[in-house]
Chains A and B, each alone.
Chain A
Amino acid sequence: MSKKWIELASMLISLTASEKLDWKETSEEDVFQTVLGGTVVQFARVGNFDGEDDYVVSILTRNGKKFDSFSDVNLKEISGSNWYTAFHEMHQSIQRRISGAEQILDNLIAELHKKDDGIPF
């Protein structure tokens, strides 16, 4: 199971970065979800007892019941690597895309590139 968690987490991070996953917002501020072949995957930022954030991936059945979940802490225990930063970036990227900030930044950069064409250095 633990190896599958790492594979799943790696795929989620990579596919989110390449914008191949259609994450949707939920009524909870820091919880996003997507569906893959009828299986819902939720990605949440939750506060832990130390007052810090953990990132949790949950897998839900078709009717919304949770049947498996793991956090960046679990992945660190298994692999020895730090998953927090990758999950943090993934969370921010989803947030930016859903809020439309990513699109605005893309448009802004494109506009700046147009203006930059006239500069001879």
Chain B
Amino acid sequence: MDFEPLLNWNGWGATGFVVSLTGVLFAFLANSNAKSAKIAATDAAEDVKRTIASVEAISEFGNVLNNLNEIRLKIDGQVWDKVSELCTYVNNSVALVTKTPTFQCSAETRDSLALFQAQIRVLNTSVLKAQHNGGQFDAVKAKKVLFTQSESISAILAELKSEVN
């Protein structure tokens, strides 16, 4: 059988080009599908990390609320060293949350937490003055401010819980 005309057919050049172009296209599509799958997997992993950070934040803010309540009781009893200790715990809890890279929250929440930490430091300073120098301490004002701070932490807690659910 003479294959010469078939092999010498001019159409092979164009067909070969089309076939190779199709190959390149399939390779590109397969690669982009693999990339999309990889991006989706990375996004899912990031979502999981953020959810874990939110769950941990819920737990820490729960501790903060309990400690704020304890601080109020210790102020009533003028147990200054315990108040100072609890203030430190509270600020450490908030710092633990805010310094977690995967913890995400609104700019308002960040501002609210920054104000909260500054407030707790002011309270701690007043308590230390009262404890060591016999400085005056306005327990009524301190408890009023603690109440406001508890409300802001409760609001943040509710926001986080709704995001996780």
Contact = CB atoms under 8 A, between A and B. Distances in A.
A62 B114 contact: yes
Interface stretch (B29-37, B40-48, B137-145, B153-161): B137-145
Q: Which one of B113, B114, B118, B145 has the highest number of Cβ atoms from chain A below 10 Å of its Cβ?
A: B118
B143 to A, nearest CB: 9
Given A63-B95, A64-B91, A33 B118 contact: yes
A64 B145 contact: no
B138 A64 contact: no
B104 interface: no
User: Could you tell me the dominant secondary structure of chain B's interface residues?
Assistant: helix
A35 B115 contact: yes
B119 A63 contact: no
B114 to A, nearest CB: 5
B86 to A, nearest CB: 14
A65 B124 CA distance: 12
A31 B110 CA distance: 21
Contact of B110 (A26, A29, A62, A65): A62
Contacts of A27: 119, 122-123, 126, 138, 141-142, 145-146
A20 B115 CA distance: 17
Interface of B: 91, 94-95, 98-99, 107, 110-115, 117-123, 125-126, 138, 141-142, 145-146
